[in-house]
Chains A and B, each alone.
Chain A
Amino acid sequence: MKIVVCIKQVPATTAEKRYTADFRLDRAAAESVINPLDEYAIEQALRLVESGAVETVAYLSMGPEQAGEALRRALAMGGDEAYLVTDGALAGADEWATAKVLAAALDKLAPDVALMGMASDDARGSLVPGAVAALRGMPLLSYGSELTIHDGNARIRRLTATGYDLIEAPLPVVASVTDQVGEPRYASLKGIMAARKKPLETWALDDLGLSAGSLRGAALTQVVEAKPPEAKPPTERIENVSADEAAAKVADWLAARKLI
């Protein structure tokens, strides 16, 4: 039983972000991390190894060469091997192009479960898992708050409007999990040492039977402008007053805006 966890390297949540002249994120300028939501997918995969349901965990990332660091960090948390798809032709890839490339790489790796995070911090579409499933002709089990595997089936627990469903599909599947699977573990010093010796292979588009031409400039979308969000009016403060006075002032404020 083999899981491939797809992880994306993203700018750290708190990092200062900069844009290039053609509106792409200047990835070299920002401090980069594993997409926080992908750490939960890693955690889920490693828990399945510990429970004996899974033998092998591999990681797959598409990104610039420095995304290799994210793969090393994942290997330090656990798992066996990693694959990086990097190619100059992939700069500025949109969700479609990302899904095309990951689908081709996953076809080559042929895992029982291709596991993803629920969304990437920078794109936030949550579209890659479903698009990859469609491209590979496989069932999708998305937004799992838990993933289990038994008798040739994968099963997720997924929140509904009021409660939850258990949804099951025969392997192989594409799945995604949320931040409810449990807090991701930290890499131990021993893990960091061990990760250095784990295999990390790099692929270019050629290795996947893809070409820059078939990916149409890596995007079907085009950013035409990037602008700062509208400035907020300054915050009004109520402090150093009694609770009675605070309550009255808040009520006045709400009433002035016809909210009560």
Chain B
Amino acid sequence: MSDDIVFLAEFADGQAARSALELAAGAAELAGQSGGAPVALAYGAGARAGAAALGAAGAARVIVLGDDPAPAITFAARAAAAVQQAEPLGLLAPATPNGRDLAAALVGLLELPAFGPVRTARVEGGALRTEQATLQGTVITVSQPADGAPRPAVILVLANTFTPSDGGSGEAEVADAPAADAGAFGKAKVVESHPAEAAVTNLEEATVIVAGGRGVGSEEGFGPLHDLAAALGGAVGASRAAADAGWVPYQLQIGQTGKVVKPALYLSAGISGAIQHRVGMQSAEHVVAINKDPDAPIGEFADLFVVGDLFAIVPKLTEEIKRRKGT
């Protein structure tokens, strides 16, 4: 048994994902509280070459699970082999589809307690504690592993919970995970890959999001929102209604079945604020909503609620911001 905090570090296209850098900072913070070391489990394209560099993000050691671009869950058996012996206190996984797949496989393979998705985790008196918003955010539950539960406790962590740092020791010690057959998980193969023609932003990384909904009316209607996002230095997001209509790609959907975001500013136009949308954006630091319906639900939880026509207000706001910025 150890007081180490292990984290899943995903690589893609030769680079550590933003989630890997955030979780490195998180693992370093929790390991500081537990008296253990932050240890990365690195996987995906570029993981071996980039492993040592995770030291700068906070990792003391990196265990490489593999560096082929296979589905994340393919690395589950090696991840299990890597943590089985060490029995670290906790394992942080990004609350992304890939991170959840790998975390879920570990919960099944090693029969582990699981928590999350969370925005708060800490070690208190040697025990891991998490805070999770449950039931559409109506309640916060504080949880910990049951007495005598196997280790590690698996914790799903939402994007933007921890802030990447470059205060680590520099180079991390790198080792390969013990060999293990991928088993049945290895039988799922990518048979076709279709990247998008146009670039799609990762909303989880955006500090400003301008989100549009059904009220935007069409793909062209998103034009003024793109202009506003550009003026603010941000990205465009959407409700499911707008993604379902095909006005924006699904990668830009915010909510229960889309991205869960935490920007400094979330500004919506033509979004009513359904509960399934709200759970994806309620952690934003500042929420501004433009809606022509004075009784729209989003008016109850926005910080600033503007009642009016988005087509009249959004272009004027873009002009005003450009003028003040002197651009």
Contact = CB atoms under 8 A, between A and B. Distances in A.
Interface stretch (A42-50, A80-88, A126-134): A126-134
A167 B191 contact: yes
A259 B199 CA distance: 25
Given A221-B146, A235-B302, A165 B114 contact: no
A248 B108 CA distance: 55
Contacts of B306: 237-239, 246, 249-250
A100 B113 CA distance: 12
Given A243-B313, A254-B265, A221 B113 contact: yes
Contacts of A247: 313, 316-317, 319-320
B320 A248 contact: yes
Nearest to B133: A229
Nearest to B298: A235
Interface stretch (B81-89, B168-176, B182-190): B182-190
A6 to B, nearest CB: 14
Given A170-B187, A243-B312, A165 B324 contact: no
B321 A251 contact: yes
Contacts of A180: 250
Contact of A160 (B102, B195, B302, B313): B195
A225 to B, nearest CB: 4
A189 interface: no
A131 B97 contact: no
A228 B140 contact: yes
Contacts of A238: 304-308
A135 B133 contact: no
B191 A134 contact: no
Interface of B: 12, 71, 73, 76, 97, 100-109, 111-117, 129, 133-147, 149-150, 153, 156, 183-185, 187-196, 199-200, 202, 208, 232, 240, 250-251, 256-257, 264-265, 275-276, 286, 288, 294, 299-309, 312-313, 316-317, 319-321, 324-325
B198 to A, nearest CB: 8
Q: Could you say which of A94, A122, A124 has the most chain B C-beta atoms within 10 Å of its C-beta?
A: A124
A250 to B, nearest CB: 6
A99 B114 CA distance: 12
Interface in A111-141: 118-119, 121-135, 137-141
B73 A130 contact: yes
Nearest to A16: B138
B188 A169 contact: yes
Given A19-B139, A23-B141, A250-B304, A126 B100 contact: yes
Contact of B304 (A100, A130, A235): A235
B324 A127 contact: no
A139 B185 contact: yes
A25 interface: yes
B112 A220 contact: yes
Nearest to A156: B188
A226 interface: yes
14 contacts: A13-B136, A124-B117, A125-B156, A130-B108, A139-B184, A140-B101, A159-B250, A162-B196, A180-B250, A219-B146, A224-B144, A236-B304, A247-B320, A251-B320
Q: Could you say which of A169, A253, A259 has the most chain B C-beta atoms within 10 Å of its C-beta?
A: A259
B191 A225 contact: no
Given A130-B100, A168-B191, A247-B316, A17 B138 contact: yes
Given A103-B108, A164-B194, A170-B187, 15 more contacts: A96-B113, A100-B111, A126-B104, A127-B107, A130-B107, A135-B108, A140-B73, A163-B196, A233-B303, A237-B305, A243-B316, A247-B313, A250-B313, A250-B320, A260-B325
